Amino acid sequence: MISKDDVVYIELTKLELDACIDTAKHISGHVVDRKDLHARDDLERFINVLMGEVAEQMVIKWLKEQGKFAESAVDKTSNKPDVGHDVKVINSANGAEILCSVKSSLSYKLDVEGILSICKIASKESELKDINIQVYFWLTTNPKKNESRLTVPSLRQAAIIGWFGRNDLLKFAAYNHEEGREAPIETLNGGRTMASLLGRLS
């Protein structure tokens, strides 16, 4: 189980963020939206791609800080970029390379506790990898007194929530807002903590 104390906050430097922006600019021009995704204009697509790049970099940076091997599995220079944000990691048991899926999502109304108890990993069953990590960004549109609103994605309100193994997610149902899209039934608080992943990796 994942609690709010288990989520991982990781800061990116300006250079790391700039690299994510440059990659997102390139990838956005070559992305072909899935058939089960709502229509996006160029700005929305860029923001979505950028959040994905930031999420991937957050995961890679954190794993490296924990002494683990991690690198992007996506060819960032390709004109046919992978639709996922996959990271290569190494299985500590047998030295095998594992592809890890990193999903990024944005909540406009929920804080971390709400995200954990209501939201689900943004993955269809066919997209699952052996390791599936969820990163969330969240806004503050109705702040408490003396607090500021936050109406755009920010590194200050972003965290690596946790992960699921392929066999942790066996039941899927229709996703509320996108026709033909599915989502797991299990909410994020039913997942595994990032700390629990470390012993599995070299």
Lowest mean pLDDT of 1-10, 26-35, 115-124, name the range.
26-35
Residues 6+ apart with CB under 8 A from 73: 82, 86, 87, 88, 99, 100
- Higher model confidence: residue 134 or residue 126? 134
Can you give the pLDDT at residue 167?
95
Can you give the pLDDT at residue 177?
62
Look at residue 23 and tell me whether its pLDDT is greater than 80. Answer: yes
Q: Which runs of E-coded beta strand occur in the chain?
A: 71-72, 86-90, 97-107, 131-138, 158-165, 172-174, 182-184
Can you give the pLDDT at residue 37?
66
Can you give the pLDDT at residue 83?
54
Give the phi and the psi of residue 50 in degrees, each rounded to 5: -65, -45
pTM tops 0.85: yes
47-76: per-residue pLDDT in tens?
999 999 999 999 999 999 999 999 999 888
Closest CA to 128 of 108, 159, 105, 98: 98
139-194: per-residue pLDDT in tens?
999 998 898 999 999 999 999 999 999 999 999 988 766 666 788 999 999 999 99
Q: How confident is the model at residue 12 (pLDDT cuts 50, 70, 90)?
A: very high
Cα torsion 107, 115, 185, 81: sign: positive
Q: Which long-range contacts (CB under 8 A, 24 or more apart) does 176-180 make?
A: 177/38, 178/36, 178/37, 178/38, 179/36, 180/35, 180/36
Segments making up each domain of the chain, as ranges? 14-200
94-123: per-residue pLDDT in tens?
999 998 999 999 999 999 999 999 999 999
Element (H, E) at 115: helix 112-118
